[in-house]
Amino acid sequence: MIKFYYNPSPNPVKVALFLEESGLPYDIVPVDTRKGEQFAPSFVAINPNSKTPAITDGDVRVFDSNAILLYLAEKTGKFLPENTLKARGEMLSWLMFIASGIGPYSGQAVHFKHHAPKGLDYALERYQFEARRHYGLLDGQLAVGPYMLGATYTIVDMAAWGWCRAVPFVLGDDAWASFPNLKRWFDLVSARPAAVRANALKDKYTFKADMDADARSHMFRHVSGA
Ligand SMILES: N[C@@H](CCC(=O)N[C@@H](CS)C(=O)NCC(=O)O)C(=O)O
């Protein structure tokens, strides 16, 4: 049975969507990052990067959300594009773009918008600009087809959906107005029964909500010196 190390945040929710779409049986292990559970030695043995998500599948461990999506897609043969080098090239390009661009820039945009000390305008503007630019590329891609790779719903859509849930939090409440194609696609994916179930997982567990001093000491270790 797959064990899914879960937290209700953008990267784990991508994996929740795949698991719900595929029907693979899985057990959830909640990891409360605001309590520092990502640093427990038993979890670090599965993800040396101390972040969610991760999975174990028998004696296999996989960490990093897009690696998990690719692993599960290859394991099941589901949610992959057609089996051509051209289609695989597109899939890998967008998966890496989301992993190395959308995720990190969104994460830093959130940090400087919501959590960093006030007055760091240069950093705030840089990450807002870059995050917005990255979502603009998704919007452009979705102008040419219903899904990220065209006609077929794939793991690239799942990878993008995890972060797109947070677009207003990353860029501001009016941000969707700038991305009409992305919003059309986001509503389409969010309406899928598996997406509704993936979103609802958070209600089955109690995660710490407060970003108090203890939570900040776990989440922002450059400040706490932990
Ligand atoms: N590259 C990783 C990033 C994972 C990541 O940043 N996870 C966040 C939740 S979305 C986390 O666990 N943060 C806890 C921490 O930074 O201590 C992936 O795509 O899985």
Which ligand 1 atom is nearest residue 162's CA?
Answer: 10
The predicted model scores a pTM of 0.97
Angle at 58 between CA 22 and CA 154, to 5 degrees: 25
Give the bridge partners for 63, in sequence order: 54
Residues with CB under 6 A from ligand 1: 7, 9-11, 33, 38, 51-53, 64-66, 99, 103, 219
Which atom in ligand 1 lies closest to the alpha carbon of residue 50?
17
- Please give the Cα distance from 9 to 42 (Å, whole number): 21
Predicted pLDDT of residue 226: 59
- Flag residues of the chain having pLDDT under 70: 224-226
Closest ligand 1 atom to residue 9 Cα is 10
